[in-house]
Amino acid sequence: MANRTRPIRIEFCVSDYEHQLIKSKMAQLGTHNTGAYLRKMAIDGYIIKVDYTEQKKLTAAVSRVATNINHICRRINQTGHFYEEDVADLKARQAEIWQLLKQTQRDELPP
């Protein structure tokens, strides 16, 4: 025990119901380490887990538009021409990004 970074042991008892609540909250957070979870809760009192699903969708949409822009620029540099369907595609991708931004804003702001 002398070489441990945490040499002091703290123990406490819980009921079956309390144990299930703790396990449930750990599952919601996606953690399996009970000691780390209880230590974090005892020290900070709360844990915030951020859902980045919408940001990932937005990032993917922006990445697709950037890829299309690069392809179009390469083609323009090689041929000296651009096509109306390229412009239409870029406008559609831009509309997709705007929709994602608007939806994210609606979800995050109260009515």
Query: What is the model's pLDDT at position 104?
Result: 77
pLDDT digits (tens, 9 = 90+) for 32-70: 999 999 998 888 887 777 888 878 888 888 888 888 888
For residues 17 and 80, the model is more confident at 17
Place of tokens 């990445």: 63
Domain boundaries, given as residue ranges, for the chain: 11-49, 53-108
Q: How many residues belong to the chain? A: 111
